[in-house]
Amino acid sequence: MESCCAVGRCGPRRPGWPDRPDQVLTSVTLRLENNSRMYLSTTATRKLFAWSLNGILLSFAVYYAFYKLGSQTKDVIRLDASVAGFSYRKVAELRRPTLLTSTIADKWKASTWTAQNLHEHLGNVSAYRQLGDPVFITFHDNKPLEPFVKGKWSDFNRKVNVSVPSVFSGKGEKERKDTYLYFSQNIGQLKPQFLSDVQPIKDLVLNDYGVQINLWIGRQGITTYTHYDATYNFFVQIEGEKRFTLFPPSTEMYLYPCLHPHYGHSQIRNLTDIDKTKFPKSSSDVKGIDVVLRSGDMLVLPPFWYHRVETLKSSVSVNVWNDAPEYLLMDEIYRKPIPLELDWELSKRALMTRLYIHMLAQRLELVSDELVENLFLTRYYPLHGFNPKDADLAVSSLAREEMSDICSSVNWNEHAQKFSGAADRGLREIIPLFSKIADTSIRILLLGNYIEHLANTCIGTERVYSFLEQCQRTGLS
């Protein structure tokens, strides 16, 4: 059976951007400084960078500088991007959040965008609207909602047609003070002029696939909730101010399941005062790194870093997403066949899936029981098991009985002997791909997504919760 990609994969999906300029690589010459005024940019160092064309030496120096600065300050690293030979790619590939000034975006016509001139060029825009709540979690348009979720799309997203000044004033179709409007759109879908206003851009285009440029317009108070993206992100503040709060991929964020419209986002609403009964694996607060972006600043945000973004002053921003290599790897993994047949009876499919997950974890030197327990307790339990009366998920009692019967009646050893050959053939295809994901936290995150995908594809959306619940209750080994 070929696996399909019904489940959200490595992070909020991005539609492709059709017109991509070619990329050009430049050698690296950097001037580094950080908030606390610790300079690496002594004259000697700069001369060394400027004179030397030795890539290895330069890379070593840059790595060393990031290591030194990163270990001595909690602040994000700051660099001046105007130095000759500066490379956006090198900085992005170091995967450390970095704030750049004097960037290529200073040359954009877009750097002169204001609410007024954008209004003249854009006319009315289709903005997301929320009443009473400035925190935006999803930006989806009319995607079919999985049967797994109790809500309707209207609970998650509403859009209204408004002018740019209305987006800033919050006065959309209703004159309510607590109306929050947020405009976020792929620039490729706007008039061609918008793309020409963000030229030159080739230095920010790292791949010849999966690149998207977006425009964000919103008023003070609007907040994009904590989530990760499977993309390198060059985020340019054109007007106003935004505060990014950043968390490394190793942070336990209690993500929404992949089948939930909020997937890729944290379920924890208040990271500074965490409810330990609902989210027991967290410490009582999770401290992020705050970075304030002002007009002309560019944040280089690495893939899989969690970020929460608050608009401090009414804001216009443009960003460039480039799919991370992990995104491509997962694409390849999701296309590999899963070694079972969909016309097998349910119990056989469930047992095979369970065995497959167990062997997959083992081959990646992880303890399968811990992996599945963690997946269930962090993504699923808080949404349903914690408070079934107020639950967000549609979990049927029939599915729970079915899964409980299957898992309690089986002789695992006999089953494992029978199917391990087939499982082994499937795993030989995907283990080398998972092994290429160097960062352990990212690998475990994406493995969790893949396990959800296996359960969804092989056993059915409405049984995913009960399947994982039973696996964590009975264990897999």
Ligand X SMILES: O=C(O)CCC(=O)C(=O)O
Counting other chains too, the contacts that 269-273 makes at CB distance below 8 Å and 24 or more residues apart are: 269/135, 271/226, 271/245, 271/308
The residue whose Cβ lies closest to ligand X is 224
Q: Which residues contact 154 (CB under 8 A, 6 or more apart)?
A: none
Nearer of residues 229 and 326 to ligand X, judged by Cβ: 229
The answer to the question of residue 314 lying near ligand X (CB under 6 A) is no
Nearer of residues 135 and 366 to ligand X, judged by Cβ: 135
Q: Which two tokens stand for residue 442?
A: 């990212």
Nearer of residues 3 and 311 to ligand X, judged by Cβ: 311
The answer to the question of residue 469 lying near ligand X (CB under 6 A) is no
Is the separation of the CB atoms in 466 and 395 below 8 Å? Answer: yes
Q: Which residues contact 4 (CB under 8 A, 6 or more apart)?
A: 334, 457
Residue 310's H or E segment, with its range, is strand 306-323
Closest of 236, 204, 207, 242 to residue 223, by C-alpha: 242
Nearer of residues 310 and 452 to ligand X, judged by Cβ: 310
Burial of 248 (0-12, 13-18, 19+ CB in 10 A): middle
Nearer of residues 137 and 351 to ligand X, judged by Cβ: 137
Shortest separation between residue 442's beta carbon and ligand X, angstroms: 16
* Contact pattern for ligand X over residues 236 through 265, marking x by CB under 6 A: ------x-----------------------
Shortest separation between residue 445's beta carbon and ligand X, angstroms: 16
Question: Which range in 186-194, 227-235, 401-409, 461-469 contacts ligand X by CB under 6 A?
Answer: 227-235
Is the separation of the CB atoms in 451 and 373 below 8 Å? Answer: no
Nearer of residues 228 and 467 to ligand X, judged by Cβ: 228
Shortest separation between residue 213's beta carbon and ligand X, angstroms: 11
Shortest separation between residue 418's beta carbon and ligand X, angstroms: 46
* Contact pattern for ligand X over residues 315 through 334, marking x by CB under 6 A: --x-x---------------
The answer to the question of residue 224 lying near ligand X (CB under 6 A) is yes
List 233, 314, 378, 461, residue binding ligand X (CB under 6 A)? 233
**Cα separation, 220 vs 60, whole angstroms:** 41
Is the separation of the CB atoms in 178 and 132 below 8 Å? Answer: yes
Nearer of residues 269 and 428 to ligand X, judged by Cβ: 269
Shortest separation between residue 283's beta carbon and ligand X, angstroms: 24
3-state secondary structure 177-211: CCEEEEEEEEHHHCCHHHHHCCCCCHHHCCCCCCE
**Residue count, binding to ligand X (CB under 6 A):** 10
Residue 200: asked if its preceding bond is cis (omega within 30°), the reply is yes
Task: Read off the amino acid at residue 256.
Answer: Y
List 146, 197, 229, 452, residue binding ligand X (CB under 6 A)? 229
Nearer of residues 69 and 230 to ligand X, judged by Cβ: 230
Nearer of residues 260 and 307 to ligand X, judged by Cβ: 307
**Cα separation, 123 vs 130, whole angstroms:** 21
Shortest separation between residue 229's beta carbon and ligand X, angstroms: 5
Shortest separation between residue 379's beta carbon and ligand X, angstroms: 20
Window 292 to 311, contacts with ligand X (CB under 6 A): 307, 309
Question: Which range in 229-237, 255-263, 399-407, 443-451 contacts ligand X by CB under 6 A?
Answer: 229-237
The answer to the question of residue 216 lying near ligand X (CB under 6 A) is yes
Q: Which two tokens stand for residue 34?
A: 């950080």
The answer to the question of residue 138 lying near ligand X (CB under 6 A) is no
Shortest separation between residue 318's beta carbon and ligand X, angstroms: 10
Nearer of residues 318 and 361 to ligand X, judged by Cβ: 318
Sign of the dihedral defined by the CA atoms of residues 292, 294, 297, 299, in that order? positive
Nearer of residues 216 and 465 to ligand X, judged by Cβ: 216
End-to-end CA distance of the chain: 25
The answer to the question of residue 235 lying near ligand X (CB under 6 A) is yes
The answer to the question of residue 181 lying near ligand X (CB under 6 A) is no
Strand-pairing partners, residue 246, are 289, 307
Q: State how beta strands 77-80 and 306-323 pair.
A: unpaired
Question: Which range in 228-236, 285-293, 404-412, 426-434 contacts ligand X by CB under 6 A?
Answer: 228-236
411 phi and psi angles, rounded to 5 deg: -100, 100
Q: Is 47 left (phi over 0), alpha (psi -120 to 50) or beta?
A: alpha
Site for ligand X, rule CB under 6 A: 216, 224, 229, 233, 235, 242, 307, 309, 317, 319
